[in-house]
Amino acid sequence: MKTIDKNAVKIRRLVSSDITPTLGIWWADIPEKEMVADQLRGPRDLSFIAEYEGVLVGFILAKLEYSGFPMTGTGMVFLIAVNPDYQRSGIGTMLIDALENYCKSKGINVIRALVPRKDEKMVKYFADKGFCESNMINYDKPCPAR
């Protein structure tokens, strides 16, 4: 982990020209490349990137989804990634805070992170960031073996 000046980290909305550099940094570590590429091609209305000293060091891929009855807008986090050299330096928290502040400014009151139950590290990470288990139940078909 590198020591950084948190005041020098620039968090900004993700734009189309960020896609290639974003994927390039972590492409070797992304197991589902086609899915991630497809998500980046779709709406990125709630996605942010983090830059430090002119280098892309992290991103959060999120978008607005409508679900439930009555239909409610929810910020959906699909992926958050921080360059391994910068992990545990607060960049992930800064990205989540930027997303939360932006959502509040747009009247979006719920942010949901899609995390596999078996990924204990990410479950703990999001719980530590103030996320709690949802009252929504996700059903998949075909049903994966447990």
> Which helix (DSSP H) or strand (DSSP E) does residue 36 occupy?
helix 33-41
For the domain that residue 100 is a member of, what is the CATH number?
3.40.630.30
Residue 132 has pLDDT above 70, yes or no: yes
Residue 46: count of CB within 10 angstroms of its CB: 25
| Residues of the domain holding 64 | 6-128
The total number of structural domains that make up the chain: 1
Answer yes or no: is 76 within a domain: yes
> Which helix (DSSP H) or strand (DSSP E) does residue 21 occupy?
helix 19-26
7 vs 143, more confident: 7
Residue 138 has pLDDT above 80, yes or no: no
The per-residue b/e assignment along 28-45, b for 16 or more CB within 10 angstroms, e otherwise, is eeeeeeeebeebbeeebe
The predicted pLDDT at position 17 comes to 75
Per-residue pLDDT band for 104 (boundaries 50, 70, 90) equals: very high
